[in-house]
Amino acid sequence: MTASIKPASFADNLRFLRALIARPKKIGAIAPSSPALAQAIAAQIDPLAGPVLEVGPGTGIITEAILARGVPPARLTLIEYDEDFARHNAARFAGVHVIQGDAAQLEKTLAGRETGLFGAIVSGIPLLNFPPPWRQGYMEGLAARLAPGAPLIQFSYGTHAPVVPPPGHSVVRAAMVWSNIPPARVWVYRKI
């Protein structure tokens, strides 16, 4: 199922700008993700493969693409650190599980929730803003929550994958999105 993804609204752009000014290291981009990037990320997900986790959804443009891809709202969980973004996404996406918390402490953030393994994980965390040991630990934590063969999707503005694959995983560049500001690459990690 493919549906058109709308560009961010003026209110979403303003919400993004406020967060960028307040916490530039946590936002990591100069503009919200484009609909083209959102669709390139969502294209990596099999909507029938199981529940999906999106980490760092921001204004929700990628969330919208994941839902348009055919993932049922009840099978989508969002983890958002920013309280304003979390409230916004909870109001915007009925039926989606929104958790305001820290994805770097994934086990604590998901504690008490029956999630099992995920059929896909999408990470919108600006990994290049963090030191390599933090990035590695973060990605290993996400990879441990994946079902066998499921994709761990990370986008980045760098020319190389932002993290060496966790042990037993590989990484491929699945897409290059020139129409995003700045141009972005979509990286897919999978268990070998």
Segment among 25-29, 87-91, 104-108 with least mean pLDDT:
25-29
pLDDT of residue 3: 46
pTM for the whole structure: 0.85
**pLDDT band at residue 31 using 50, 70 and 90 as cut-offs:** low
pLDDT at 107 over 70: yes
Q: 90 or 24: whose pLDDT is higher?
A: 90
- Cross-strand partners of 18: none
Residue whose entry in the numeric block shows the structure tokens 């402490």: 105
What SS3 class is residue 28? coil
Segments making up each domain of the chain, as ranges: 10-191
What SS3 class is residue 152? strand
pLDDT of residue 183: 93
pLDDT of residue 10: 52
| Token code pair at residue 153 | 């999707």
pLDDT per residue as tens digits for the range 110-137: 887 777 899 999 999 988 888 999 999 9
Q: Which CATH class is domain 10-191?
A: alpha beta
The amino acid that residue 82 corresponds to is D
